[in-house]
């Protein structure tokens, strides 16, 4: 039996049931739904609408329903169109008519908003933990490589020597911002809509603040009409999730590329690689390709939800039911990808020799310009001189650090024998020691900041 | 056992398996996979790579595997990472070592592209049928209402009187274009990649054209590297699907609005309406709200896939595995919504009295302008005169058709007593009789075109 | 002259220039670029890299460049590929060779990130002001209508009587959340990347913290490689902007619908309406249709940017240049729409009589159920009784409040003569007096909260 | 003067004008608008609504307006809210009152749909030409490299030897499909809405078919209400455009990667590369990064438009005005990128030595398996043997082609001395000679197909 059939003359068509019924996916909110109902029953007793006994009976029955969900023994009935109906139906079987008092003053509109907010709050906590694991893996690897050098890129071209730890930590901070964003999203999510009824509020003397606190919310919604149709918390959750996806896509792209033998910078553990059904030698970074590819669907979930929300008129509209599958799918995707990403990073073999071999003297052209700046040449001219030196080396097919001194001096009389000191990768990296720079000293300070963040 | 473990020293991690394995969703391509393998075995016999006996053994074994899938008795093993592996594994159990010959010269890269194209071709056929059913329902309703008048809208404001059939058929033609687009998409999908191997083509003298024909393709791919990474057919499918979604969202919006009692133009059948858990009187057009809302997720699927494809380098990349869930979900969503849309239209009660009651004389202001045009006034001036008449009526709070003749004549001396003929809704509609117009005569011709389209 | 041609043998092709050059749009960051350069010059003097005199000369020259931009006299040269190049080029014309010292240790990578963050911080301040104006207009209207009744909707169906102020304020709180989100986005944006160089950090003893403070940032980036490629702040800005768009689309949809004569709830001011080139009587809520439609492009900007970011490898990549047009366009769209939305709300005429006329007795069915609850019937049974009453009224075509008492009592013996008190719209609304409810008293408290928010 | 002010009491507010007016961007449809008006005037003369003289006067005046737009002398007036208003206003100045007859029976709703369809048809023709140029450049390069070998990738890992021409042509066919899709889109776009009026059709005896033909359409719309609100042609155009963008992003990604010195496969011409303001040695493939990044915005335009369309009710709604900027921007973006892509390919230097150097013996492991297949081993076992050989070589750190024969024979007794023939990259590639394969012979056939396509 549905919760609403009194005024209807024929049952819902099966086609519509297939489209409309949400129990197959919203059953994962069973715990939140039951917790919400327990707190509501007690609050309604506080408001004098239920007796203390009735409330306790309801809480007892709900406890049993919760156990059935937990243990997997909950028996679904064909008319269980959603988790709310299923729980109330089962509660009635257990406690009898008093179950019919639970929904007093409540609508599925405020009920589902309450359940879903609680679920998203839990989801944020869960994802935060998984993000922390990826960060911890990055820190762990970085600690081993504060002095290891590699070619830093811009435009996928060798740019300047950097430390491997610096590269690894460049993926730590985006995740830190993600966690910060999720924290803000959680704060805005932790607002209780319970007591909003279908749209107009409750006629009972419910202490909404106390009820909210009991459920773990930090405050209550200010407008019941807004409260039942507000899905900002799902949008914000999915926008955070999508951006995590984009950050992971960078990690994926880097590791996929760095695994190519032309670089050979890293090797993924065998158990995070896969092979080919045709080519016996293949060793693919599938794990990182899937990590890279997940961003697409995560972006798609946000778009789908936003588009569904666009143009809806005032009040709850059934279109809002589309929110759940998108949020669940976003959470599930990220929950699958994050542990793989953490494990890949943690078990990654980094090859300092290959990284070193990719350093080329031209990457020190900036250092040559800086050498000239120290000798008084304005940077813009120094840049030009160094650029001409690069061209000279290329035209003669000699390494940039092997240009005869006389030729360099022909480009600028400021160049002296001590120019040789410029051609030192480690010194170049070590020189960038201001906060946030790639110098080992700066990176060690950065690591401290990172470790501190992990404890937050 | 996976198809590729020879060079590996440790098994795949469970976390990666959870992310990587696709059997849970790609099993729905089992039939296409098995058909592809049967045709491939025969073609490889034709190429002299297998003996005729071997090919027949393989086909026999595959027939049994197909039956197991059909009957639901197929037993999954933990190592069945995808449908291709599962089928080959089971085939081996049935026919023994010869099963190991099936994959000769083939890669999962061309195999999955083949399977998936066959699946999408079937999906297009299925959706076309379901779209035809919605169109048929629209035609059926329209046939009842070629003379029924209603207020045609622009900007959600009453604009001119139109016939209800005209409104209904305005939703027929978008679906006709959708079917046309799907037909084009199917044509481009019907190109066989089989024989492309992993990327480089096949070293066997396979008759790719004949193999393609045997599977229902109309041609073969021209470049093996393109063939294994081309997902245009999925993108095109999803773009068609998304646009169907947008068209349905208009139907949904119209029927949701027209069900509001302020209009009361239509009533949805009880079995396509639902109620409220709190408000006993509610009768919601949930079916149409869900129809409207589905557009969001369909748009999201296209976006997700496109974003995943963006920036991928040459060759097959594992990111492409993201294609399947998006396409399946798009197909499933539309397959759920279309029958509901068809049934809602078919069972819709239209209320001619309410529609008629919404006609207001101002909607004939254009006809007044046309009256003046017939008497020689340039349209732009006629429009201005009619506009001033509207203003006059509003300022005096009288209906537009009750303005005293003298007042009208003060606005333009061209207005005579016969202006009364202007104020006739039916005549107004009947006058728009050119092809595509709202006049009952034109609509009957339009209906013929629509019925003809249904037979295509 | 570009800033980088030294090592090149031929000039950039015109086709690439057309694609690559960004001055046509990034010139709007001129002020931020110049401020950034002034602060940088002083900081480099502090670091001992420039003399105090040099820094002052640069600041003086930059002041003049700023004035030229302000007054519209800045003369663009063909080689001004971006605002940074243009400013440095012009500075050189004014102050001579010392201009070449400004870029010491700086790259366009950290420079553009700095400029853009400053610009976005300003943009957030500007949008916040415009959002506040919409909120103020909503509050102003709401204050006039705390007692005015209207039909609250769910599923676009009349649900329960609510107050007009409650409906208006239901659009206040989403904007309040938007402002809160923008505030968080601004906080994360206010992190200075200056001193990150191209990717590796700066070799000069720059006090990055002090430099950041001088520019209005609240802190500095922790990793130079991340700092030059981080575009989270643009993504977060656009996600906030898109959600504002979705909120405005609800306002747009409501007012477009409520302007339809079937409702007639509101009239937009003439100066915020438009007409038709063909139909003289038309009076369209174009302003609100455009407000509704803008959400699409705003969502599109976020998608475009996210998709561009997806899969980029480590370091600055030129693809990031795509960030600016999206952010500028998002800001501009919202800057156009918000003042219109504010003005439309402020100048809106609300028609209490039409709103009242739309109230129908069925909307009190919930109150009937609540009446039964008060007499001890469990809500679920009370809901069913009220539902049967609704059906009875419909079958007999009598208003819900005109069902003979005897018939009601046949449905439930708990119903007594005092049931008449149920059929009072104002009493129904007034009963929902808990926080966040629609009762005039609760709405007055809500208004206080809203007014308080406006002062934040 | 607007075209519609008669019934209004106050002028449009400036804020709304800024949001509403479209002349700044729709002026680029001036030619289509004028052509449409000329044809309409003649058709209205044919219908007897205008005299022949009036029609000729209008055509003459419109010719002058067109010249003014062409020569840049068209003088805009403040009230020119859109191109249609501007043209009609100017026409009136030139020909006097008869200008007011042009709009008889026409609405801006059918007029703008006509103009825009004509514009999109032209845009498709233009883009097709630009796509052909990219294809021609690919063919031109491919012709030089039918025998040049390179490492074909899957999963960004060396997979099998392929020919460079094969790789280049793998980017030809996606563009061929794009052209095919655009052709279909053009066909569906070439349907004339003219004569649909505002929504209800025209009351004049217009020969819509003849009018359509005169304008270059191939048929007419069947339903006037659909015709004025149908924006499928813009959606389909943008979906084609977005997919071109994704295809170009692959070209971009490949060339960006292949330009990295670790590969060094290709060098972009200096005039299609750029440098760094800080690092003198940099030589960045900016042109290809921007090509890769453009996909994002193109996807965003489609999303924006689809989202705007979603949920709109029946009839023309002003939200549809959002269609133009998206379509124009999509066209402009691609028009900028395609010539750059063509030129980069055409001027690309390919380095056969570097490509050759990246070939590694392991890439022949599949050939070893095929060798065993020829000797009767089922492929699955052959794959396993070859996989173990790969592992052996890796464990001993010897090249795959240097495994002692005895060791190979220990893995499979089927291996004989002639196994040496397996280790030949050119022979491996040449063996994949079936249609669509990478063998030089097959590629030459493919090139013929490609050249044939270019002539279509």
Please tell me which of the candidates D5, D197, D438 has its beta carbon nearest to residue B201.
D438
Residue C335 confidence (pLDDT): 97
For residue C344, what pLDDT is reported?
A: 97
Q: Report the gap between the CA of C135 and the closest CA in chain B (Å).
A: 26
Rounded to the nearest angstrom, the minimum Cα separation between A256 and chain D is 7
Which chain A residue's Cα is nearest to B107? A278
pLDDT tens-digit readout, C177-201: 999 999 999 999 999 999 999 999 9
C-alpha D282/C-alpha D278 separation (Å) is: 9
Q: What would the two tokens of residue B140 be?
A: 């059926």
Q: Do A304 and B292 touch (CB under 8 A)?
A: no
Give the pLDDT mean for A60-75: 97
Alpha helices per DSSP H over C47-193: 52-71, 83-95, 108-144, 164-169, 172-189
The closest CB to that of B436, out of D196, D316, D317, belongs to D196
- The DSSP annotation for C415-449 comes to --GGGGGG--HHHHHHH--STT-SSHHHHHHHHHH
pLDDT band at A1 (very low <50, low <70, confident <90, very high): low
Tokens in use for B420? 């009364």
A104 to C224: CB separation less than 8 angstroms, yes or no: no
Q: Which residues of chain C make contact with B383, given a CB cutoff of 8 A?
A: 277-278, 280
Q: Which residues of B does the annotation mark as catalytic?
A: 155, 276
Nearest-by-Cβ selection for C243 from A232, A391, A431: A232
Inter-chain CB proximity B434 and D201 less than 8 Å: yes
CB D362 within 8 A of CB D352: no
Phi–psi pair at B162, nearest 5 degrees: -135, 170
What mean pLDDT comes out for the span C126-139? 98
CA nearest C198 in A: which residue?
A: A154
Interface test with B, best of C257, C273, C282 (most B CBs within 10 A): C282
Cα dihedral angle (A152, A345, C318, A383), rounded to 10 degrees? -10
CB contact under 8 A, D156 and A366: no
Name the E strands within B219-332: 219-220, 266-267
**Cα–Cα distance between C55 and C68 in angstroms, integer?**
20
Q: With contact defined as beta carbons under 8 Å apart, do D127 and D241 qualify?
A: yes
**What CA–CA distance (Å, rounded) separates B329 from B326?**
5
pLDDT number for residue C1: 57
Question: Which residues face D151 on adjacent strands?
Answer: D161
Is-catalytic flag, C218? no
Chain-chain contact of A221 with C292 (C-beta, under 8 angstroms): no
Task: List, in order, residues 6 or more apart from D299 with CB less than 8 Å away.
Answer: B303, B306, B307, B310, C303, C304, C307, D242, D245, D246
The packing angle between helices D365-374 and D379-396, to 10°, is 140
> Minimal CA–CA distance to B173: which of D358, D223, C337?
D223
* Cα C175–Cα C179–Cα C184 angle in degrees, nearest 5: 145
Burial per residue of B28-56, b for 16 or more beta-carbon CB atoms within 10 angstroms, e otherwise: ebbbbbbbbbbbbbbbbbbbebbeeebbe
φ, ψ at B154 (rounded to 5°): -130, 145
DSSP B173-229: HHHHHHHHHHHHHHHHH-EE-TT-TTTT--SS---HHHHHHHHT-SEE-S-HHHHHH
Of A12, A297, A303, the CB nearest to B271: A12
In order of A110, A213, A218, A221, B373, the CA distances from A210 in angstroms are 16, 5, 10, 13, 71
User: For position B275, what pLDDT does the model report?
Assistant: 87
Residue C325 reports pLDDT greater than 90? yes
Catalytic entry in C9, C103, C221, C276: C276
Query: Going residue by residue through chain B (456 aa), what tens digit of pLDDT does each one get?
Result: 577 777 787 888 899 899 999 999 999 999 999 999 999 999 999 999 999 999 999 999 999 999 999 999 999 999 999 999 999 999 999 999 999 999 999 999 999 999 999 999 999 999 999 999 999 999 999 999 999 999 999 999 999 999 999 999 999 999 999 999 999 999 999 999 999 999 999 999 999 999 999 999 999 999 999 999 999 999 999 999 999 999 999 999 999 999 999 999 999 999 999 888 888 888 899 999 999 999 999 999 999 999 999 999 999 999 999 999 999 999 999 999 999 999 999 999 999 999 999 999 999 999 999 999 999 999 999 999 999 999 999 999 999 999 999 999 999 999 999 999 999 999 999 999 999 999 999 999 999 999 999 998
Letter string b/e over residues C421-442, b meaning 16 or more CB atoms within 10 A of that residue's CB? ebbebeebbbbbbbbbbbbbeb
Task: Tell me the two tokens of residue C326.
Answer: 């999206």
Furthest C-alpha separation in chain D:
100
| R_g of chain C, CA atoms, integer Å | 30
Angle at the Cα of D304 (from D243 to C173), degrees rounded to 5? Answer: 150
D75: buried, middle or exposed (CB in 10 Å: 19+, 13-18, 0-12)? exposed
CA distance B240 to B230: 18
Report which DSSP code applies to B22.
Answer: -
Question: What pLDDT was estimated at residue D281?
Answer: 87
pLDDT at position D277 is: 83
Model pLDDT for residues A139-152, shown as the tens digit of each residue: 999 999 999 999 99
Residue contact C174–A391, C-beta within 8 A:
no
What count of CB pairs under 8 Å joins B to D? 406
Which residues in chain D are contacts of B431 at CB distance < 8 A?
A: 203
Residue D179 three-state SS: helix
DSSP letter for A4, please.
Answer: S
The two three-digit tokens of residue B359, written as one number: 């006609």
- Identify the active-site residue in C9, C155, C277, C397: C155
Chain A residues with CB inside 8 Å of B84's CB? 277
What's the average pLDDT block by block, 10 residues per block, for chain D (456 residues)?
Answer: 74 90 95 98 97 98 98 95 96 96 95 98 98 98 98 96 98 98 98 97 97 98 98 98 98 97 95 88 93 97 98 96 97 97 98 96 96 95 94 94 96 96 97 97 98 95
The pLDDT value given to residue D388: 94
Interior/surface letters B319-349, b for 16+ CB within 10 angstroms, e for the rest: bbbbbbbbbbbbbebbebbbbbbbbbbbbbe
Q: Distance (Å, rounded) from C-alpha D114 to C-alpha D402?
A: 70
Contact D387 A256 (CB under 8 A): no
Chain C residue numbers touching A5 (CB-CB < 8 A): 387
d(CA B426, nearest CA chain D) in Å: 12
Name the residue among B198, B296, B301 with its Cβ closest to that of A322.
B296
Q: Please report the pLDDT score of residue B3 as a whole number.
A: 74
Would you call B312 helix, strand, or coil by DSSP? coil
In B, which residues are within 8 Å of C156 by CB distance? 256-257, 259-260, 285
| Section A249-260 average pLDDT | 97
Radius of gyration of chain A (CA): 30
Looking at residue B213, what is its pLDDT? 98
Q: By C-alpha distance, which of A341, A318, A302, A42 is closest to A185? A: A302
Determine, for residues D225 and B197 on separate chains, whether the beta-carbon distance falls below 8 Å: no
pTM passes above 0.90: yes
Q: Which residues of C touch B362 (CB under 8 A)?
A: 281
pLDDT value at position B1? 56
**Secondary structure of chain C: what % helix, strand, coil (to 5)?**
70, 5, 25
Residue B91 and residue C301: Cα distance in Å, rounded?
A: 50
The count of other CB atoms within 10 Å of the CB of residue D421 is 10
Tell me the shortest Cα–Cα distance from D357 to chain A, in angstroms. 10
pLDDT in tens, C56-94: 999 999 999 999 999 999 999 999 999 999 999 999 999
Pure H helices in B47-107: 52-71, 83-95
């Amino acid at each position: 039996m549905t919760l609403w059939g009194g005024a209807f003359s024929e049952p819902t068509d099966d086609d519509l049931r297939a489209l409309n019924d949400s129990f197959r996916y919203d059953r994962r909110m069973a715990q939140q739904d039951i917790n919400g109902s327990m707190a509501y029953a007690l609050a309604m007793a506080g408001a004098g609408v239920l007796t203390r006994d009735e409330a306790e009976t309801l809480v007892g029955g709900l406890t049993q329903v919760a156990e059935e969900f937990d243990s997997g023994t909950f028996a679904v009935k064909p008319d269980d169109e959603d988790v709310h109906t299923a729980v109330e139906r089962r509660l009635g079987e257990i406690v009898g008519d008093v179950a019919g008092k639970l929904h007093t003053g409540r609508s599925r509109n405020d009920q589902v908003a309450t359940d879903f907010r609680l679920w998203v709050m839990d989801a944020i906590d869960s994802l935060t933990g998984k993000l922390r694991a990826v960060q911890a893996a990055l820190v762990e690897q970085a600690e081993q490589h504060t002095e290891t050098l590699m070619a830093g890129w811009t435009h996928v071209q060798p740019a300047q020597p950097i430390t491997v730890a610096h590269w690894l930590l460049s993926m730590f901070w985006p995740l830190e911002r993600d966690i910060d964003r999720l924290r803000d999203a959680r704060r805005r999510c932790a607002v209780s809509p319970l007591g909003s009824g279908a749209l107009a509020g409750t006629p009972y003397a419910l202490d909404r603040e106390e009820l909210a606190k009991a459920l773990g919310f930090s405050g209550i919604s200010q407008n019941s009409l807004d409260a039942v149709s507000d899905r900002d918390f799902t949008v914000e959750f999915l926008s955070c999730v999508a951006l995590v996806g984009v950050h992971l896509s960078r990690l994926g792209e880097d590791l996929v590329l760095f695994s190519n033998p032309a670089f050979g910078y890293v090797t993924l553990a065998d158990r995070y690689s896969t092979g080919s059904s045709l080519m016996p030698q293949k060793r693919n970074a599938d794990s990182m390709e899937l990590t890279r590819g997940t961003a697409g669907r995560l972006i798609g979930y946000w778009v789908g939800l936003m588009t569904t929300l666009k143009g809806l008129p005032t009040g709850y509209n059934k279109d809002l039911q589309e929110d759940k599958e998108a949020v669940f799918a976003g959470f599930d995707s990220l929950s699958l990808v994050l542990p793989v990403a953490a494990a890949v990073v943690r078990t990654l073999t980094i090859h300092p020799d290959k990284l070193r071999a990719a350093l080329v003297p031209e990457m020190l052209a900036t250092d040559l310009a800086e050498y000239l700046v120290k000798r008084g040449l304005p940077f813009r001219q120094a840049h030009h001189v160094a650029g001409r030196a690069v061209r000279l080396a290329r035209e003669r097919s000699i390494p940039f650090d092997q240009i005869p001194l006389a030729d360099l001096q022909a480009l600028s009389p400021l160049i002296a024998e001590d120019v040789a000191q410029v051609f030192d990768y480690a010194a170049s990296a070590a020189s960038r020691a201001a906060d946030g720079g790639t110098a080992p000293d700066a990176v060690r300070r950065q690591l401290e900041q990172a470790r501190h963040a992990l404890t937050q």
